[in-house]
Amino acid sequence: MTGQSSSQAATPIQWWKPALFFLVVIAGLWYVKWEPYYGKAFTAAETHSIGKSILAQADANPWQAALDYAMIYFLAVWKAAVLGVILGSLIQVLIPRDWLLRTLGQSRFRGTLLGTLFS
């Protein structure tokens, strides 16, 4: 007999799962959201311009202009969409369900405030 109950022995503290989740959040947001604009900030400071507008080079054919805009927009946001899917799945796998319910599932102001801060 070790003196521990079976429930304590069956659920060891797995601190690395939330740590891994937050590491993926930070690295993903850096790669998708902040890193693309890091270099543009220096360019904008020097040239007072961030580049040409994606609407300025509109084609005479409206269908071709719409397709060009859609392709440019897709290339700009596909990484963020993939990161959102990955983070959504990691929340289900790495963050304990009872922690989410205790922290964000409250109907009081604290749950709303924490949900806003985490978003």
Task: Identify the three-state secondary structure at position 47.
Answer: helix
- Residue whose tokens read 């596909």: 78
With residues binned 3-state (H G I as helix, E B as strand, rest as coil), the percentages for the chain, rounded to 5, are 75, 0, 25
Which amino acid is present at 34?
W
**Of the candidates 12, 3, 19, which has an alpha carbon nearest to the alpha carbon of residue 94?**
19
Position 5 in a domain: no
pLDDT at 13: 64
pLDDT at 4: 53
2-11, 78-87, 108-117: which range is least confident on average?
2-11
Position 73 in a domain: yes
pLDDT tier for residue 26 given thresholds of 50, 70 and 90: very high
The alpha-carbon radius of gyration of the chain (Å, integer) is 22
Residue 27 pLDDT greater than 90, yes or no: yes
Arithmetic mean of pLDDT, 91-110 = 80
Which tokens is 79 given? Answer: 């990484």
Position 51 in a domain: yes
Position 105 in a domain: yes
What is the pLDDT of the chain when averaged over all its residues?
A: 82
CB distance 24 to 85 below 8 Å: no
Which tokens is 78 given? Answer: 């596909």
pLDDT at 32: 92
pLDDT at 87: 93
First to last CA, the chain: 46
Position 9 in a domain: no
Segment 55-99, tens digit of pLDDT:
777 677 888 888 988 998 999 899 999 999 999 999 888 887 887
Position 1 in a domain: no
Q: What's the structural domain count of the chain? A: 1
For residue 45, the enclosing domain spans 16-118
